[in-house]
Amino acid sequence: MLNIVFIVIGIALVLWGADRMTDGAVALAQRMNIPQIVIGLTVVAIGTSAPELFISLISALKGTPDLAVGNVVGSNIFNTMLIVGSAALISPMLIAPSTVKKDIPFTVVASVLLALFCLDSNISRLDALVFFILFVIFMVYTVRMGKRGGSEVEHESDKDYSVTKSVCFVALGLACLILGSNVFVEGAKNVAAAMGVSDAVIGLTVVAGGTSLPELATSVVAARKGRSALAIGNVLGSNVFNILMILGITGLICPMQLSGITRVDIAMLMVSILLVWLFSFTRYKLERWEGVLLLVLFFGYMGWLIYNV
């Protein structure tokens, strides 16, 4: 019962925090004349990826690398199928041409590298160094492109916060997101562990779902408010950070030997991002039916995992 209470409290904190952070981030974009896509790809994505970083690093250090990598792979699948699918179902998502031509391909490259590095069931320090170097390149590229792409700013916010208030909202929202996710994961992980589920499956499902709550809440709230650039930017930025930053830092500190991550899991990771890329080419828009298809595939994959347990 206590674990169930933790789960409920965690979800409540995450939803409230996502609302505060979305308002603060959009207000900052308006005040600082920065495109919302850049805010989504940097500030929001880094903040909402913090739970994955914490869980993966601690898992690797404690000798459960399958949980660490499963968390990243599972979180990215949650992001591109469950979150993008849910956001598109709520409101069709307009996607900037630069996102389709530059940001999504970077996410694809990161996913392909992860798939290649997992072929030998080992993520070495060299692999992790490659990830981290690419992460630095991605950050520099994102900031520079954001400065050049000022015409793509969506400045139609109904919130007119000062810079100080906006920063406070972002900080408060991030704190609630991280705290709420950790409370949720602890409660859910205790329940799953008591059922005798493997580290890989726990990472791909319970932990990935819990640590993806910030992305889910933030993107759904952003989509509901008509801020599709922030919603899709949050997902893409988080996916890149999950692979390049989290596995980069974790692998540099503690190289990982994998045993429970299967080719089906990696294949679903690739299929999910390629589908989002394909759908984005159709008039630079994700329709509701495309969101439904992503959700059907996601729940089919979750069903396959549970069946094989």
- pLDDT at residue 41 tops 70: no
Question: Looking at residues 161-166, what average pLDDT do you find?
Answer: 84
pLDDT tens string 257-266: 887 888 899 9
pLDDT of residue 227: 74
Torsion, CA 73, CA 16, CA 217, CA 31, rounded to 10:
-100
Q: Give the pLDDT band of residue 101 (cuts 50, 70, 90).
A: confident
pLDDT of residue 154: 45
Question: Looking at residues 175-200, what average pLDDT do you find?
Answer: 78
Question: Looking at residues 225-229, what average pLDDT do you find?
Answer: 72
pLDDT of residue 182: 79
- pLDDT at residue 155 tops 50: no
State both tokens at 135: 């992460």
Q: CA-to-CA distance for 188 and 182, rounded, in angstroms?
A: 10
Q: Give the pLDDT band of residue 153 (cuts 50, 70, 90).
A: very low
* Residue 198: φ, ψ to 5°: -70, 160
pLDDT of residue 95: 79
- 166 with 20: CB under 8 angstroms? no
Encode 36-53: b = buried (16+ Cβ within 10 Å), e = exposed: bbbbbbbbbbbbbbbbbb
**Percent of the chain at pLDDT exceeding 90:** 22
Q: Is 217 or 172 the better-scoring residue by pLDDT?
A: 172
pLDDT averaged over every residue in the chain: 81
Q: Give the pLDDT band of residue 43 (cuts 50, 70, 90).
A: low
Q: What are the residue ranges of helices labelled H in 78-207?
A: 84-90, 97-98, 104-117, 125-148, 163-194, 199-202
- 49 with 235: CB under 8 angstroms? no
Q: CA-to-CA distance for 204 and 227, rounded, in angstroms?
A: 29
Q: CA-to-CA distance for 42 and 178, rounded, in angstroms?
A: 16
Out of 8-17, 44-53, 194-203, which region has the weakest mean confidence (pLDDT)?
Answer: 44-53
Question: Looking at residues 115-129, what average pLDDT do you find?
Answer: 92
pLDDT of residue 221: 80
